């Protein structure tokens, strides 16, 4: 009886290993994982590897490589700017859907999922909204109604077409803000109080019953002191836990992943531990805006390889830490980079004193950098069929 059971277990194990070792091959050519896109390699694990898309670059006829790579290398896309409120409703009451629709159609043509970014944020709001609140012509009650209408209108338009929505973005302060004790910050908290967060999730859910609804923020890749007064990850964790307990329809927490090689950053175990804690709340997770910038020192700008190489390697290591942690935790559903080429990255425009850059997977000439190959190898070597149980080596007898 026992023997029969063990024979059955062994047969199943053998069949599993054999199946995992069977590699897809095309017409006589051996399957070469290094020739696959990041998107394809990610989907082997059910993980969507995506990018933010700059619509101006996508439509620049002088820059065709951008469109080619956006279409071929990634399994998911996010609008870098064109789904933000100022882009969608530049004039009160009149929506301009052209660019956002175009991205959704692009994704459909290329069989890509779409992360919707962003419904509620304190930046890139239309001028009519912020000035109306400032001069008192928009009351608090009206502002709440405007927000509800905005969420309902946008989510309804793309109902069934958006996989994950960033419903609320960057609602929590940083330790360098005043006061330094972490708190709900920005336009919406100031005018509506923190209750807008739960409202936003409920309104989004009412407009699309199937989209995954995310809270999205930066500097929450790992836990720190565990004190919500100065540990942003803990603050966001406590918030998410409370929202879940109140029955608010939040499905996930997005960790942006904007890192810099000049900082200490994290190791894979720390990041995986954070993802696991969010998973234990019943939440999905995602890396939503990954890039790893570096200081553009005089040496870097002069092309000194002794200054450039360590930065490219540190950048690759940080991209890889987030990828490995994501692969290690099943509820981490997607890994999105915030732009894929240094030719089109928000970093140099944002951090110019001192100048920073080199933050993405491809250089300005669309040559893949070490970071690209590093996350590609993470995707290839994550488990079978390329990583198998260790081979058994018995000590040899003398011949």
Report, as residue numbers or ranges, the catalytic residues. 170, 289
Q: Is 289 in the site for ligand G3I (CB under 6 A)?
A: yes
Residue where the block lists tokens 């790992």? 222
**Closest approach of Cβ 58 to ligand G3I, in Å?**
13
**Closest approach of Cβ 79 to ligand G3I, in Å?**
9
Q: Is 266 in the site for ligand G3I (CB under 6 A)?
A: no
Nearer to ligand G3I, 75 or 82 (CB): 82
Distance of CA 113 to the CA centre of its chain: 13
Residue where the block lists tokens 């000590």? 395
Nearer to ligand G3I, 131 or 139 (CB): 131
Q: Is 261 in the site for ligand G3I (CB under 6 A)?
A: no
- Applying CB under 6 A, the site for ligand G3I has a residue count of 8
Q: Per-residue x/- marks for ligand G3I, 162-191, CB under 6 A?
A: -------x----------------------
Q: Is 256 in the site for ligand G3I (CB under 6 A)?
A: yes
Q: Per-residue x/- marks for ligand G3I, 109-138, CB under 6 A?
A: --------------xx--------------
Nearer to ligand G3I, 81 or 261 (CB): 81
Omega before 354 cis (within 30°)?
yes
**Closest approach of Cβ 124 to ligand G3I, in Å?**
5
**Closest approach of Cβ 52 to ligand G3I, in Å?**
7
**Closest approach of Cβ 391 to ligand G3I, in Å?**
46
**Closest of 295, 291, 312 to residue 359, by C-alpha:** 291
**Closest of 371, 391, 367 to residue 379, by C-alpha:** 371
Question: Cα dist. 166→84, 110, 114, 193, 251 in Å?
Answer: 11, 22, 11, 19, 10
Question: Cα dist. 167→39, 84, 156, 330 in Å?
Answer: 24, 11, 13, 22
Say how far apart CA 242 and CA 245 lie, in whole Å.
Answer: 5
User: Which token pair is 154?
Assistant: 């946008």
Omega before 385 cis (within 30°)?
yes
**Closest approach of Cβ 99 to ligand G3I, in Å?**
11
| Bridge partners, residue 334, by sequence | 48, 286
Given candidates 36, 76, 81, 164, which one binds ligand G3I under the rule CB under 6 A?
A: 81
**Closest approach of Cβ 218 to ligand G3I, in Å?**
6
Evaluate whether 49 touches 75 at the Cβ level (below 8 Å).
yes
Q: Is 346 in the site for ligand G3I (CB under 6 A)?
A: yes
Q: Is 356 in the site for ligand G3I (CB under 6 A)?
A: no
**Closest of 212, 83, 117 to residue 160, by C-alpha:** 212
Nearer to ligand G3I, 122 or 241 (CB): 122
| Bridge partners, residue 166, by sequence | 117, 214
Nearer to ligand G3I, 81 or 294 (CB): 81
Q: Going along the chain, which residue ranges are E strands? A: 48-53, 76-79, 113-120, 164-169, 212-217, 252-255, 258-260, 284-295, 332-337, 356-357
Nearer to ligand G3I, 41 or 346 (CB): 346
Q: Is 91 in the site for ligand G3I (CB under 6 A)?
A: no
For the chain, what percentages of helix, strand and coil (3-state, to nearest 5) are there? 45, 15, 40
Q: Is 80 in the site for ligand G3I (CB under 6 A)?
A: yes
Nearer to ligand G3I, 36 or 341 (CB): 341
Q: Which residues bind ligand G3I (CB under 6 A)?
A: 80-81, 123-124, 169, 256, 289, 346
């Amino acid at each position: 009886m026992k023997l029969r059971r063990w024979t059955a277990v062994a047969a199943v194990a053998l069949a599993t290993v054999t199946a995992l070792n069977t590699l897809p091959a095309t017409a006589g050519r051996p399957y070469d994982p290094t020739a696959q896109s990041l998107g394809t390699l990610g989907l082997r694990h059910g993980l969507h590897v995506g990018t933010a898309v700059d619509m101006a670059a996508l439509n620049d006829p002088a820059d065709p490589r951008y469109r080619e790579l956006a279409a071929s290398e990634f399994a998911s896309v996010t609008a870098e700017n064109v789904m933000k409120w100022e882009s969608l409703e530049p004039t009160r009451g009149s929506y301009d859907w052209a660019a956002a629709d175009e991205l959704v159609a692009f994704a459909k043509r290329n069989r890509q999922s779409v992360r919707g970014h962003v419904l509620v944020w304190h930046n890139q709001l239309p001028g009519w909204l912020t000035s109306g609140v400032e001069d008192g012509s928009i009351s608090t009650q009206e502002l709440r109604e405007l927000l509800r209408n905005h969420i309902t209108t946008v989510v309804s338009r793309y109902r069934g077409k958006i996989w994950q929505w960033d419903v609320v973005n960057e609602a929590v302060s940083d330790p360098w803000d005043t006061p330094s004790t972490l708190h709900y910050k920005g336009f919406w908290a100031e005018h509506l109080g923190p209750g807008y967060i739960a409202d936003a999730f409920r309104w989004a859910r009412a407009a699309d019953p199937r989209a995954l609804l995310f809270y999205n923020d930066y500097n929450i890749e790992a836990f720190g002191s565990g004190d919500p007064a100065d540990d942003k990850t803990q603050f966001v964790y406590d918030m998410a836990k409370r929202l879940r307990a109140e029955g608010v329809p939040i499905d996930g927490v997005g960790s942006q992943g904007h890192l810099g090689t000049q900082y200490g950053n994290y190791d894979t175990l720390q990041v995986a531990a954070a993802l696991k804690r969010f998973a234990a709340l019943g939440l999905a997770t995602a890396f939503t805006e990954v890039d790893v910038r570096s200081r553009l020192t005089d040496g870097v700008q002069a092309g000194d390889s002794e200054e450039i190489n360590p930065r490219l390697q540190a950048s690759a290591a940080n991209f890889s830490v987030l990828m490995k942690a994501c692969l290690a935790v099943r509820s981490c559903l997607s890994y999105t980079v915030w732009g894929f080429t240094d030719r089109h990255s928000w970093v140099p425009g944002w951090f110019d004193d001192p100048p920073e850059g080199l933050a993405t997977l491809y250089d300005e000439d669309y040559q893949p950098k070490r970071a690209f190959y590093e996350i590609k190898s993470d995707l290839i070597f994550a488990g079978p069929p390329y990583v198998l149980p260790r081979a058994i080596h018995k000590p040899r007898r003398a011949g």
